[in-house]
């Protein structure tokens, strides 16, 4: 998490320690809310981090999307329940090994889907 301090001329040493003390008093969730950082959890490793560092996988609910229930969403907003996976080949492997997507989407997930995810991860590295 990045906490930005005011520039030295504005804060001075005393100012910075006051801000630190102030932040320590707040609960972590309060700071996160205060800073407006959306935190998401990886479905494979369970790590929590900023939403931007994840690949988003969405289950659409449209009937005509029957064969495309699982899509990899690189855009920020799309309808449907979203799940997050680290942009890390290791996490894709873990998800595949532990059948994470099958559990989430409660349907069979073809190896092709995992390949697509793998590719998407490699493209963003």
Q: Which residues bind Zn ion (CB under 5 A)?
A: 42, 44-45, 86, 91
Minimum CB separation of residue 55 from Zn ion in Å reads 10
88 vs 109, beta carbon nearer Zn ion: 88
Minimum CB separation of residue 43 from Zn ion in Å reads 8
37 vs 45, beta carbon nearer Zn ion: 45
Of 108, 125, 119, whose CA–CA distance to 72 is shortest? Answer: 119
Minimum CB separation of residue 20 from Zn ion in Å reads 30
Cα gap 80→54, rounded to integer Å: 17
1 vs 16, beta carbon nearer Zn ion: 1
- For 46, the token pair is 């369970």
């Amino acid at each position: 998490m990045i906490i930005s301090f005011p520039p030295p001329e504005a804060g001075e040493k005393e100012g910075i320690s006051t801000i630190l003390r102030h932040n320590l008093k707040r609960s972590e969730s309060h700071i996160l809310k205060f800073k407006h950082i959306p935190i998401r959890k990886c479905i494979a490793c369970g790590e929590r981090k900023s939403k931007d560092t994840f690949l988003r996988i969405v289950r659409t609910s449209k009937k005509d999307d029957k064969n495309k229930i699982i899509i990899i969403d690189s855009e920020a907003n799309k309808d449907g329940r979203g799940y997050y996976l680290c942009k890390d080949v290791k996490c894709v492997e873990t998800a595949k090994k532990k059948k994470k997507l099958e559990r989430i989407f409660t349907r069979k997930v073809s190896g092709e889907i995992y390949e697509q995810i793998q590719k998407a991860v490699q493209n963003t590295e």
